[in-house]
Structure 1
Amino acid sequence: MAYKGYLIDLDGTIYLGKAPIDAGKRFIDRLQHAKIPFMFVTNNTTKTPETVAARLKNEFDIHVSSDLVYTATLATIDFMNEQAKPKTAYVVGESGLKDAIIQAGYTIDEIAPSFVVVGLDSNVTYDQLATAVLAIQQGACFIGTNPDKNIPTEKGLMPGAGALISFVETATQTKPVFIGKPEAIIMEKALAKLGCHKAEAIMVGDNYETDIRAGLNNGIDTLLVLSGFTPKSAVPTLPQAPTYIVDSLDEWQLK
């Protein structure tokens, strides 16, 4: 099938932590040469789209505009804006998440916010998590930016946002509204930005639990690349097969 649009993961697919994945760059080069629309869809909330685009350029020689990067931060704000609630929030996360929420018009409130947003924060403290727990107990809407329990890096699988969200969920006995992959919220908004219907697009990624389930759960074809989170040894036991599986994106032929 000739796909009219590609939704593409970043970490583990285009690069691995600080290390380039050469096949990832070649894949993007081929899409650009063929003039096939694509959108990077990432659960990363620590970086702005502008920072992501600059990093792709400076570290990996991949040249894209920031409007081709749709993050779980942007999807979170889009979701919050659709709710009929006062624009107050308490945020556990790094500057890429906090600053964007403030810039979207939200006031930080530690006591009685409308929303508690929990994302990845590599410098998180117990007090920050405790403040989040207390605010949720007071009735704040609990949002988890993305469910990734681990992040693939050159060091190995590091704790992800999902690990922090699980802490807060356990302490509050409250399930969060998840925004990022594999949830429908981020996928539907990314498709709208890409200008494609589900049947015309394919989701490309390395993580079966987030990238591939994002496709499987939302009626989008999937391409699993075995360059990051999900190892080849796990393929025979996957509960539902991706549409396609490749060891390297060099193997993928644009159809």
Structure 2
Amino acid sequence: MRKYHAWCFDLDGTVYRGEEPIPETVSFIQKLREQGAGVFFVTNNSALTPESQAEKLAKMGIEADPDEIMTSSVATAAHLLKVHGSVKVMMIGEEGLRKALETAGHTVVRQHPQAVVVGIDRSITYGKLADASLAVSAGASFIATNSDKAYPTEQGLVPGNGAFAGLIELATGVSPYYIGKPSVPMLEALAERHGLDRKDMVMVGDNYETDITAGIRFGIDTIHVDTGVTRTEDLAHYGEQPTYALKTLGDWKVN
């Protein structure tokens, strides 16, 4: 097993399930910190700000600086600014997305947007979906923070942002531009921010279709853990395999 200098962890299903930490991952990250390894978090969860994510991790015994956390909301706001400049945005989402958009200089509006951005929204309504669909049909750019169809909680899998974005796509015939994993903008942004070399990086995650695929596309090693969405026995259905496949991170010996 290789020694890596930059460990990039998914959160939901890898570090925790809902509010429940995964003990083997928590212990593993603590050992990495003790050894001075770089620890980063790359999450498709758009609901929380990096600061809120850091607070959540701290309650689970994991030290994390907000600068070490790359969320799909932050990456989405940066992408919009880079491609379109400051724009008027109609958003479906929660506080993490709103703050990221406003911090980047965008204006959140309810009517006549230049872009529609869809993130996870646990207060989703038919009205929000209808307004977003009408705006996309009228020509607004359509961007989704991530494509996860479901995400793991303590009770099991529940609908993710990909399910919401898919409804708008079905209604309008317009496909969204996805920012989060399995696309690579978040890993690219993280590497640029911290000056990371790809050969020193490894992506750790539970979901083959998002976490592992993002790592493969970015050209770094990957570790699949059987603690969330994709079961170990299902990996055989995919073409390119993760570099390592573990039951939990308790099976990895920290050098």
Normalising by structure 2, what TM-score?
0.95
How far the C-alpha of 1:199 sits from its partner, in A, is 2.2
Question: Which residue of 1 is the match for residue 206 of structure 2?
Answer: 206
Q: Provide the C-alpha distance between the structure 2 equivalents of 1:217 and 1:111, rounded to a whole number of angstroms.
A: 37
Fraction of identical pairs, as percent:
39
**5+ residue gaps in structure 1?**
none
Q: Which moved more, 1:168-177 or 1:187-196?
A: 187-196
Structure 1 residue matching 2:84: 3-state secondary structure: coil
Q: Provide the C-alpha distance between the structure 1 equivalents of 2:51 and 2:94, rounded to a whole number of angstroms.
A: 15
Q: What CA deviation, in whole Å up to 9, does each residue of 1:65-99 have, x standing for no partner?
A: 21111100110011011023452100000121123
> What pairs with 1:160-171 in structure 2 (closer than 5 Å)?
160-171=160-171
Question: Which residue of 1 is the match for residue 146 of structure 2?
Answer: 146
**5+ residue gaps in structure 2?**
none
Q: Which amino acid in the other structure matches residue 78 of structure 2? A: D
Structure 2 residue matching 1:191: 3-state secondary structure: helix
Q: What CA deviation, in whole Å up to 9, does each residue of 1:210-254 have, x standing for no partner?
A: 000001122111000111111122123222210101111011134
Q: Which moved more, 1:245-254 or 1:204-213?
A: 245-254
Q: Which moved more, 1:163-172 or 1:94-103?
A: 94-103
Contact 1:40 / 1:70 at 8 angstroms: preserved in 2?
Answer: yes
Q: Provide the C-alpha distance between the structure 1 equivalents of 2:26 and 2:148, rounded to a whole number of angstroms.
A: 24
> What pairs with 1:62-73 in structure 2 (closer than 5 Å)?
62-73=62-73
Q: Provide the C-alpha distance between the structure 1 equivalents of 2:25 and 2:67, rounded to a whole number of angstroms.
A: 19
Question: Which residue of 2 is the match for residue 35 of structure 1?
Answer: 36
Contact 1:86 / 1:114 at 8 angstroms: preserved in 2?
Answer: no
Q: What CA deviation, in whole Å up to 9, does each residue of 1:9-56 have, x standing for no partner?
A: 111111111222111111111110111112100001111111111111
How far the C-alpha of 1:104 sits from its partner, in A, is 2.5
Q: Provide the C-alpha distance between the structure 2 equivalents of 1:202 and 1:233, rounded to a whole number of angstroms.
A: 22
Q: Provide the C-alpha distance between the structure 1 equivalents of 2:75 and 2:85, rounded to a whole number of angstroms.
A: 17
How far the C-alpha of 1:177 sits from its partner, in A, is 0.8
Contact 2:78 / 2:104 at 8 angstroms: preserved in 1?
Answer: no
Q: Which amino acid in the other structure matches residue 226 of structure 1? A: D
Structure 1 residue matching 2:97: 3-state secondary structure: helix
Q: Which amino acid in the other structure matches residue 61 of structure 2? A: D
Structure 1 residue matching 2:116: 3-state secondary structure: strand
Tell me, yes or no, if structure 1 residue 10 matches structure 2 residue 1. Answer: no
Q: Provide the C-alpha distance between the structure 1 equivalents of 2:85 and 2:30, rounded to a whole number of angstroms.
A: 43
Structure 2 residue matching 1:116: 3-state secondary structure: strand
How far the C-alpha of 1:156 sits from its partner, in A, is 0.7
Q: Which amino acid in the other structure matches residue 92 of structure 1? A: I
Contact 1:28 / 1:62 at 8 angstroms: preserved in 2?
Answer: yes
Q: Which amino acid in the other structure matches residue 153 of structure 2? A: T
Question: Which residue of 1 is the match for residue 49 of structure 2?
Answer: 48
Question: Which residue of 2 is the match for residue 107 of structure 1?
Answer: 107
Normalising by structure 1, what TM-score?
0.95
Structure 1 residue matching 2:54: 3-state secondary structure: helix
Q: Provide the C-alpha distance between the structure 2 equivalents of 1:227 and 1:109, rounded to a whole number of angstroms.
A: 39
Tell me, yes or no, if structure 1 residue 178 matches structure 2 residue 186. Answer: no
> What pairs with 1:82-161 in structure 2 (closer than 5 Å)?
82-161=82-161
Contact 1:85 / 1:114 at 8 angstroms: preserved in 2?
Answer: no
Structure 2 residue matching 1:82: 3-state secondary structure: helix
Q: Provide the C-alpha distance between the structure 1 equivalents of 2:234 and 2:113, rounded to a whole number of angstroms.
A: 42
